[in-house]
Chain A
Amino acid sequence: MNRPSFKPKRIRETTGKSPDFEGLPHSHPCSACGTPLDADDPFCPACGQPQQVALPQSNESYAPAKHFSCKNCGAELTISAEHRSDTCPFCDSPYVVELQGITKRQPPEFVIGFQVTPEQAQATFRNWFRQNNWTRPSDLHTATIEQKLQGIYLPFWTFSLLAQSQWHCSIGEYYYRTKTYRTYEKGKWVTKTKRVRETEWYPLAGKFNDYTRGYLVCGSNGLPQVEVDRIKPFHTETIRRYDPKYLAGWSCEEYTVEREAALQYFLEHTKQDQQRKIQQYLPGDTNKQLRVMTEFDHIQSDLVLLPVYLLTYRYEDRLYRFLLNGQTGRYYGSKPIAWRRIMGVIGIGVVVVVIIGAMLAFATMR
């Protein structure tokens, strides 16, 4: 497999939030009591007032989907029939083949619907892409790239578990004492005192229990976890049970990271999280040698589909990517920089400074 590297040197990375989607998405107030509601709450959770349910946005009516696999990066996609895609949305390579039959994968259990329309996503992308226009290579055109922007439901693993930790460490309590010392000053030896801080150490052990949940592990091999972390958070309050109607008109990726692998990643994350939480929970002025033993219980996993707008493009054999959270409008992207142009501008600047300097020097010499 010949995957292009994702650590190019010449790259501009930006994250941001489009101004149109501030706060919780679609939290319009209940007509009766003002409680914030989700777009598809049939009843107000606070007062029971029936609400007009806005159906999840769909581009077109539901059509039988096709199944594709990318030979380059290994992503597997379900693409709605109208959407004739011949390139992989993750690596922008044309090696996409249609798969026959249905894969034996676990069906998703929960889904968050798209709240950002394709038009809004496109506008956000265009705005972002045109920032600092002059640093962009001139042979890279917005119009040709823009069309590749696609709304995709990406698979994520979420876990809930009870983390039970046993910890022990040394706790330090400060005290102060006055120290006398001799020093050579103004040609003679004098005795002086100063106040120094000392630490008294005590061993301490205890337990720490915590229900942990909500961390989203990307189930897609094509998309690194670090990039996905940049467009978090997703508001899980608006999560719904999975229903095929949500996918109408949208593409959907199949998970390629297995549950076990995702769980290992999550456990590692939780262990670090526990360490950090316990660090804050310790008494005393300071501490050292913290050892934490964590056991996990009641592990439950869920497969969730989350709405993401994705745009991958190639420039000079490197991959650049734009990601937009389809729920909150938060985005992250990288774009190439034309260093030749920037160098040119800097060069002109240097030349101008030198000329002015020379003129001034000339003027003062006279």
Chain B
Amino acid sequence: MDLCQKCETCCCYLEAEDLFCTNCGTEVPVIDGVTPNPQPTLQPVVRHYFDCQQCGASMSYDASVGSLRCPFCGSVEVKDQPQQLDIAPNRVVPFQVERPAATESLQKWLNEGFFRPPDLAEMAEVTSLVQVFVPYWVFHAQTKTTWTADTSDVPWGAKAAWRPISGEHQGSHQDVLIPASQTLTAKESFSIFPFQIKDAIEYRPEVCAGISVERFGLSRRVARPYAKKNIERRESQECDDLYIPASSRNVHVNILYSQMRSEPILVPLWIFAYRYKKRMFRFVVNGQTGRAFGDKPFSMEVLYPYIGYTVIGFLALCLIMMLMILFMR
């Protein structure tokens, strides 16, 4: 990494596609018409892809996977896209949750919950859990922050409930993950966090053998503002926790980023996608920690009897009341 070129002003790592530093705007120096030694990440890799016609997911296809079923929506309508290029990931977080554990987690999830359609558990046997590697961008940055806020810790004799304070903070943010998947929703991507990025291994094609790899659907240029927003939120929380006594309001942070860099990585997921009454539902398991998240269909049919009971109960109560009133007279 240290062989990479850094911006002279803010020490952020420069990337091959940039003419200016993306953080501070300093021009990338040119020597003899060639930008020297940018961050050597975006290496292309050729894979055989298929596109799902239903949900738009684009992922690699491995003959050993067997059936051509889209792991993101369970659709079988997929279109072949032979010999396509993608960004080669720097690192891959390997699978640590095996199939039995994932299936168990799925079964547990399917059986829990009260207002669920009763035939949901049976569906689970029809389509099975699929292993997928999903792309993420990982950002790292150092921050120099100044902050202002109001604290409720007011001096003796103060009349107002708040007092303004300001200060400085230096932070370091590692492993800020920004999902680069085109298919998973932001809610799904974030609710299976965290991933231990330090356990990631270097990418080799063998690591992904037999497992579908989703294609990078978000360029670094687009991911960067999200990462900054994310860091800003963390920094604001950190300043609040560290420096502001009692409760706070109007926490503002002003962040100067330095040594910002990013890398493409792959993250392991178990996905169970199924259709229930023409709607698509998905259950995802973090392939490293086993943390699960999913949307379940909400069945009104299960609910109807209970609504009925409530209404009958209410009417009965009214009747009793009326009778009591009549008796009292």
A interface residues with partner B (beta carbon < 8 Å): 32-35, 44-49, 109-110, 160, 162, 171, 173-175, 177, 198-200, 202, 204-214, 237, 239-241, 280-285, 298, 300, 302
Contact = CB atoms under 8 A, between A and B. Distances in A.
Interface stretch (B64-72, B159-167, B191-199): B159-167
Given A173-B160, A211-B10, A32 B24 contact: no
Given A46-B42, A204-B148, 16 more contacts: A33-B58, A33-B215, A34-B182, A48-B42, A175-B160, A199-B160, A200-B159, A202-B164, A209-B144, A211-B24, A213-B24, A240-B19, A280-B252, A281-B148, A283-B252, A300-B26
Contacts of B40: none
A322 B93 CA distance: 57
B25 interface: yes
20 contacts: A33-B86, A45-B219, A48-B86, A48-B87, A109-B27, A110-B19, A160-B9, A160-B20, A171-B164, A173-B160, A173-B161, A175-B161, A200-B159, A202-B164, A210-B256, A213-B25, A239-B19, A281-B254, A282-B252, A302-B27
Contacts of A239: 19
List 10 tightest A-B contacts by C-beta distance, closest first.
A213-B25, A48-B44, A160-B25, A173-B160, A46-B219, A206-B166, A211-B24, A171-B164, A175-B160, A200-B160
Contacts of B10: 211
Given A209-B254, A241-B19, A204 B165 contact: yes
Nearest to A46: B219
Contacts of A285: 162
A74 to B, nearest CB: 29
A107 B182 CA distance: 43
B146 A207 contact: yes
Q: Tell me which of B86, B160, B256 has the highest count of chain A C-beta atoms within 10 A of its own C-beta.
A: B160
Given A49-B85, A209-B256, A281-B148, A204 B219 contact: no
A198 B25 CA distance: 45
A200 B150 CA distance: 13
Given A283-B148, A284-B250, A204 B166 contact: yes
Contact of B25 (A32, A214, A284): A214
Contacts of A241: 19, 30
A207 B27 contact: no
Nearest to B81: A32
A280 B217 CA distance: 35
B196 to A, nearest CB: 26
B84 interface: yes
B168 interface: yes
A155 B151 CA distance: 50
B153 to A, nearest CB: 13
Contacts of B58: 33
Contacts of B217: 33-34
B17 interface: yes
Contacts of B208: none
Contacts of B30: 241
Interface in B60-94: 84-87
Interface string B271-311: 00000000000000000000000000000000000000000
Contacts, number: 136
A142 B26 CA distance: 45
B164 A284 contact: yes
Nearest to B162: A173
B185 interface: no
B221 A200 contact: no
Nearest to B15: A45
A210 B102 CA distance: 47
B256 A211 contact: yes
Contact of A47 (B162, B182, B216, B252): B216
Interface in B224-252: 249-252
Contacts of B84: 32, 47, 49
B144 A283 contact: no
A175 B144 contact: no
Contacts of A46: 42, 87, 216, 218-220
B254 A210 contact: yes
B213 to A, nearest CB: 13
A311 B235 CA distance: 50
Contacts of A175: 159-161
A110 B28 CA distance: 12
Nearest to B256: A209
B158 interface: yes
Nearest to A240: B19
Contacts of A237: 221
A198 B159 CA distance: 9
A337 B172 CA distance: 61
Given A33-B86, A48-B85, A283 B146 contact: no
Contacts of A300: 9, 25-27
Nearest to B146: A207
B259 interface: no
